[in-house]
Amino acid sequence: MTIAPNRQFRPLPVPSVTVGGYWGDWQDAVSDHTAAILLDRCVAAGMLEQINPDVPSPGIVIPILHWLGTPQMFWDSDLGKSIETIAYSLYRKPNPELEARADAIIDMYEKLQDTDGYLSSFFQRIKPEWKWTNLRDFHELYCAGHMIEGAVAYYQATGKRKFLDVMSRMADYCVRKFGRGPGQVRGYCGHEEIELALVKLARVTGKQAYMDLAKFFVDERGQQPNFFIEEAIAQNRDPKGVQKNTLEYNQSHLPVREQTKVVGHAVRAMYLYSAMADLATEYNDDSLTAALETLWDDLTQKQMYITGGIGPAEANEGFTDYYDLPNDTAYAETCASVGLVFWASRMLGRGPQRLYADTMEQALYNGAITGLSTDGQTFFYDNPLESTGKHHRWTWHPCPCCPPNIARLVTSLGSYIYAVADDEIAVHLYAESEARVELANGAKFTLTQNTNYPWSGDINIAIEPETPARFAVSLRIPAWAHGARLAVNGKPQDVAAAGADGYVRIEREWNRGDTIALDLPLEPRLLRAHPAVRHDAGRVAVMRGPLVYCLEGTDNGKGLNSILLQHGLGKAQAATIPNLRGAIAIDLPVLRENARDWGDALYSDKAPHTEAEQARLVPYHLWDNREPGEMLVWLRER
């Protein structure tokens, strides 16, 4: 890859895009259910007692067998993400009751904030003596980051400045506290998050100091002497850390520009790389982009599930060895794939590039949205690619990071579909939507996508400028879309003219009534894994467009590993799945081994009896939304 040119693409703000169709259904589920559920369950966990300065501190509870119900240092982050979700959901469906509940929480935070701007409920109300004693483990800046993101979203959604002002004061406090000047702390957070939040805050407030603080945190990370080692020594803690908490765990083992391998806790890594990509765009920083390109290849060529799931191991919630991608024990946390969507979208800041957009789509549709049930009421934390029928969605989790993370992504999806530069709009995702755009060159227009994507590959785009205007529309041609066809105002265009970046760039004067018709063939296709992935040896995965497919027990009975694909997908047929939002299934003939004539023996020199059968594959992200049962992504191939 080559370093991107000095162009700056930024996402359209969430309010500028109205989403319908497939993603509209998801947004409805979040607006109608998830948004309130998030608050309900944060309240049930006792979070308000921690942040409300008008009630006695609950104090700390020593957990005996589990940590459910005891105040947590990361609770502010859950409230921050919940408020962010509520804010975005208010665009879609005004909800005065939910807005009032969010306002009340914001009032508590305003009252709780110290006069110097400091705000972190755990360290103000539960353990004041721990304040700023352990940046590595205590999530203090991480929480501030999520609160900042919530504040930005809430301001954009409601126009109310209170939360934004509160968090700006906390950011101002951090600008004073952290830096290379005398008396300042030359440190950064063990769980990256505040960096990308400060970029958002800088963009919405226009205040450069926030952007510079984000850059400071990123630039300082992993420099020698290592801050976390120095801090541990100063606090009389073991500088080597304990158990999983190595320097690699939080990506502080090397300066970020020298990092070449994706390591450690997966969510932390994604948030760091997201901030690095934002800063690469904002500062036109080629050294950051070069490091990110290396890390991108490392992740996507050696450490990523076909679902865009990442971080195979529960032990460190993160990365292990190259090509170590177990299916049934995959951790592949929902938050990590959400983080990959964040990172990929920000890699598009320096210009369209389908390498990133294709993977963003892959992670969005398979690794991330899988974490939410279609009714918006239950969640996956980890996302295995094979289940014996014991893995199910849950209603809540003692570490409730995933539900608000996927919910805020869903409700802000509009900002991932499009990105704009001075004289160009890039269409990164295909989705029923209407975008209201004003470019820096003055062009002002509405862009409407009419499509039943991802079930259909027919995409009709209408462009309605207020007055005729010259600008470019760049359309991603996914790498899998062999035989894609394109027409502008009915006139066929050469898709092969797509650049090395995989986008067709249509630059012209646009007039009212102009249309673009794009047809992306959604033929099912077979994928195999690199021969070094032992877990997928002799197996294939089926994809259709951006979607990974799987076998479910409810369609195919028990023993999914007895199913053998014998003749590829030649006879595959698409069918609509009843009661699953118009989702498309793939039916195809297979062989099935059974125990007929096998007898009682556990081991035998016989080969199992096989019979011809019809199998049904369904989109992986919709599994466990019907009757519970087994699930399998990687099918055996004869």
In order of 81, 389, 455, the CA distances from 317 in angstroms are 20, 22, 33
CB of 300 vs its own copies, minimal distance in Å: 7
- For β-strands 424-427 and 469-476, DSSP reports them as parallel
The rounded distance, in Å, linking the Cα atoms of 50 and 60 is 10
Catalytic residue among 143, 189, 335, 401: 401
Which runs of consecutive H residues, i.e. helices, occur in 395-470?
Answer: 402-411, 414-417
Annotation marks residue 550 as catalytic: no
Residue type for position 453: Y
Rounded Cα distance between 441 and 423, Å, is: 6
Assess whether 424 carries a catalytic annotation: no
Burial class (CB within 10 angstroms; exposed 0-12, middle 13-18, buried 19+) of 597 = exposed
Say whether 116 sits in a helix, a strand or coil.
coil
Q: From CA 281, how far away is CA 292, in angstroms rounded?
A: 12
Q: Which residues contact 468 (CB under 8 A, 6 or more apart)?
A: 509, 510, 511, 512
Give me 47's structure tokens. 């979070």
Q: Residue 36: which of 445, 411, 444 has the closest Cα?
A: 411
Angle of CA points 196, 413, 278, to nearest 5° = 25
Q: Which of 84, 140, 231, 317 is catalytic?
A: 317
What is the Cα–Cα distance from 484 to 518, expressed in whole angstroms?
7
* CA distance linking residue 286 with residue 300, whole number of Å: 21
At its nearest, how many Å lie between its own copies and the CB of residue 382? Answer: 16
d(CA 342, CA 415): 11
Residue closest to 73 by CA, chosen among 113, 136, 123: 123
- Distance between CA 139 and CA 158 in Å, rounded? 28
Concatenated DSSP letters of 33-73: IIHHHHHHHHHHHTHHHHH-TTS--------SS--TTS--T
Site residues (vs its own copies, CB under 8 A): 65, 242-243, 297, 300-302, 304, 306, 321, 324, 326, 328-329, 388, 525-534, 537-538, 541, 559-562, 564, 593-595, 598, 600-608, 636
**CA-CA distance, 531 to 547, in Å (whole number)?**
22
Catalytic residues: 317, 401
